[in-house]
Amino acid sequence: MDLTVIIINYNVRYFLEQCLHSVKNAIKSIDAEIIVVDNNSADGSCSMIREKFPEIKLIENRINQGFSKANNQALKIAAGRYCLLLNPDTIVEESTFTRCIAFMESHPEAGALGVKMIDGKGHFLPESKRSLPTPAIAFFKIFGLSKLFPHSKIFGRYHLSYLDKDKIHEIEIVSGAFMFLRKEALHKTGFLDEDFFMYGEDIDISYRLIKAGYKNYYFPETTIIHYKGESTKKETINYVIVFYRAMLIFARKHFTRKKIRSFSILITLAIYFRASLSIMKRFFNSIYQPLIDAVLIYTGFILFSNLWEKYRYGFTEYFPEEYFIYFIPGYIIILLFSIYYSGGYEKPMRIWNLIRGYLTGVIILLVVYALLPETMRFSRVIILSGAAWGIPALILHRVIPSLFKSEDYELAAQKKRKNIIIGQRDEADRTAGILQITNPDTEITGYVSSLNNPETGTPFIGTAKQLRDIVLINKIDEIIFCARDIPSKEIISYMSLLSGLKVDFKIAPPESISIIGSNSIKTSDDLFLVSFNSISKEVNKRNKRLFDILSSLIIIIISPAFFVIFKSYSKIFISAFRVFSGNYTWVGYCTLSDVSVFPQLKKPVFTLSSGLSTVPDKARSEKLNILYARDYNVLRDFQVLWRNLIKKQQ
């Protein structure tokens, strides 16, 4: 057998499905096998493989074995002369494997081969070619010198950025996202080192191949899409720690004692440096918009307080200092929380959510104001004046940056994205149906026929040959490729051709309920699903959490009275603290049916079937879960909670 393709999967079902379609097309002309090792996914990945790809060898792990150990499980049974370690969030060209095999056959000294990789926007991924991360090279990378001087042979060595990305080069490190390996070489070096749970194993095996006398190559004569690229959880502290600890394992294994000492110091500094940057960046991104809102609102309150003092009392120091230090900030906190829970900070921003949240906050302020002792009631007029100021001020805070095309301030009205779908009529219609259900704000400008099957007439507006002109003339925001009708090679070619334009790309796999894409290497992947996604919407997540908090508080407050009457109330009291802390939720799915296909929830105190007079069977439980996930309403949580509270006291 020529080739064994090994894919390690962990909770990326829809990316895996798309990847397998492309791999199947790429092995049609060669003797090959596909092995998928699933690391205990909870998203129905294994069921999908058994249903749609029954010919694939599937290894189901009951725990997450990590990347190295899972790959070794497959390598032990691999029958191919060559083995490809492939990430599930990739798409390969139809000729990728034949080209790689031909290169390896003509270069018997080659131990491993990496290819040109692009992200979901068609941009070249620099990790396609790398060098050994010695202390000096790692230092230049960690502290940004490699980015500042990419063409320098000294500073740019980490990603070998001074080498032409369109030419074949001998390199040191091949990326684990696509690592084409000679099986014979692996028998000499040994398989992947299982000390590396995730990250670093590609560096280790690449280096061991070189030490065994083989060469590693960068081969850009075929291109693959790698959606997540180097940005996989890159902004998280956990990523920083895991990645750099992997570097330490590598250093202890291969470097001299002197180098290990300097490398360890460097890595420790890197962990603190990158973790600090990550914390600061995430904190700033989460608070800077509410912080600007707070400053604007505070400015309005100060302004109207001074005007009211002059008008009503004739001087400007009537209100005590505590009013400005404690009361106005308290008003602002209530207003900001109200805006948040109304969706005022969702992206893209909706002005109505902002207005609704602000007005709700003003009403809450007036109610709280009425309940305060008279000595703390300074002026109802200022609260109303602040509302009159705050709404236009906060609207301008959003509108002005949006006029300058700021991504953080994109307004929903501007989010009417114009799409074109490339494919044959029947598949384009199916894709359009998925898109309109999952993203009704999308405008489908028209269909574009593929090169192999040109079609004319409404709704077709041209052919793939005219794609660039179609995008520019119609100001298209997004292109969706029907993978059934367009070869992966053509999709990748179009993405590379249009990568300089401000256009996003998505791919609709055949016979799938998903449309997959990645708007940016620095953001999470876009995934449109005709699925049970209502409960996963941000507004529903907030509403569910808000219900959990408020109901828990009420239960905790009234608990002393209930302890006297009901002995069993202590369990509810403890549960209320668990829910309030965020570790539990009051209501969750029925556990009789498979819940892996639904959006994940916190561990529930009660399930949908709790408290029912008759326990539903598996089929009924599944229907309850589907309705709950697809059409979530906070009233349902209240009904389940109330039913169980009453039942427990009977």
Edge to edge, what strands does the sheet with 504-508 contain?
A: 460-463, 443-449, 418-422, 478-482, 504-508, 514-517, 526-529
* Between residues 161 and 312, the one the model is more confident about: 161
* Between residues 49 and 531, the one the model is more confident about: 49
Whether 449 contacts 481, CB under 8 Å: no
107-116, 475-484, 519-528, 565-574: range with lowest mean pLDDT: 519-528
Backbone angles phi, psi at 348, to 5 degrees: -70, 150
Written as six digits, the tokens of 453 are 């099957």
CATH of the domain spanning 3-129+165-228: 3.90.550.10
- C-beta neighbour count of 501 within 10 angstroms: 14
Question: Which residues sit opposite 240 in a β-bridge?
Answer: none
Whether 121 contacts 495, CB under 8 Å: yes
Percent of the chain at pLDDT exceeding 70: 83
Written as six digits, the tokens of 98 are 């034949």
* Between residues 93 and 516, the one the model is more confident about: 93
Among all chains, which residue has been given the structure tokens 């999908």?
48
Rounded Cα–Cα distance for residues 595 and 608 (Å): 12
Give the type of residue at 410.
E
pLDDT at 74 over 80: yes
Whether 508 contacts 432, CB under 8 Å: no
pLDDT at 345: 87
CB-neighbour burial class of residue 504 (10 A; exposed 0-12, middle 13-18, buried 19+): buried
pLDDT at 495: 84
Rounded Cα–Cα distance for residues 169 and 160 (Å): 10
Backbone angles phi, psi at 255, to 5 degrees: -95, 165
Task: Quickly name the fold that domain 416-531 has.
Answer: Rossmann fold (3.40.50)
Q: Name the pLDDT band for 528 (thresholds 50, 70, 90).
A: low
User: What 8-state DSSP symbol labels residue 126?
Assistant: G
pLDDT at 293: 93
pLDDT at 244 over 50: yes
Percent of the chain at pLDDT exceeding 90: 26
Rounded Cα–Cα distance for residues 217 and 113 (Å): 5
Please name the residues in contact with 94: beta carbons below 8 A apart, sequence gap of 6 or more.
25, 26, 28, 487, 488, 489
**CA dihedral sign, ordered 298, 301, 304, 309:** negative
pLDDT at 524 over 50: no
For the ranges 160-169, 346-355, 528-537, the one whose mean pLDDT is highest: 160-169
For the ranges 247-251, 442-446, 499-503, the one whose mean pLDDT is highest: 442-446
* CA separation, residue 299 to residues 303, 305, 361, 364 (Å): 6, 10, 17, 20
Whether 546 contacts 572, CB under 8 Å: no
Rounded Cα–Cα distance for residues 360 and 345 (Å): 15
pLDDT at 467 over 70: yes
Helices then strands, counting H and E runs in the chain, come out as: 21, 18
Tell me the H-state helices in 459-612: 467-474, 488-497, 538-565, 569-581
In the chain, domain spans? 3-129+165-228, 299-412, 416-531, 535-649
Rounded Cα–Cα distance for residues 506 and 152 (Å): 35
pLDDT at 134 over 80: no
Span 177-210, pLDDT tens digits: 999 999 999 989 888 877 766 677 888 888 889 9
Rounded Cα–Cα distance for residues 82 and 565 (Å): 72
Span 210-219, pLDDT tens digits: 989 999 999 9
pLDDT at 461 over 80: yes
First vs last Cα of the chain: how many Å apart? 69
Tell me the H-state helices in 309-379: 321-322, 328-341, 351-371
Rounded Cα–Cα distance for residues 109 and 213 (Å): 8
Closest CA to 223 of 135, 322, 114: 114
Give the type of residue at 205.
I
Q: Name the pLDDT band for 648 (thresholds 50, 70, 90).
A: low
Q: Name the pLDDT band for 440 (thresholds 50, 70, 90).
A: low
Q: Summarize the confidence of residues 70-83 as an average pLDDT.
A: 94
Rounded Cα–Cα distance for residues 41 and 240 (Å): 23
Q: Name the pLDDT band for 230 (thresholds 50, 70, 90).
A: very low
pLDDT at 271: 63
50-54, 66-70, 133-137: range with lowest mean pLDDT: 133-137
31-40, 223-232, 346-355, 556-565: range with lowest mean pLDDT: 556-565
Span 279-326, pLDDT tens digits: 787 778 888 899 999 999 999 888 888 888 777 777 777 788 888 888
Among all chains, which residue has been given the structure tokens 């993405």?
495
Q: Name the pLDDT band for 531 (thresholds 50, 70, 90).
A: very low
pLDDT at 123: 87
Q: Name the pLDDT band for 101 (thresholds 50, 70, 90).
A: very high
Please name the residues in contact with 210: beta carbons below 8 A apart, sequence gap of 6 or more.
111, 172, 216
Q: Summarize the confidence of residues 113-126 as an average pLDDT.
A: 90
Question: Which residues sit opposite 370 in a β-bridge?
Answer: none
Q: Summarize the confidence of residues 91-108 as an average pLDDT.
A: 95
pLDDT at 53: 93
pLDDT at 151: 83
Query: What is the chain's mean pLDDT, rounded?
Result: 82
* Between residues 272 and 45, the one the model is more confident about: 45
Span 478-493, pLDDT tens digits: 899 998 888 888 888 8
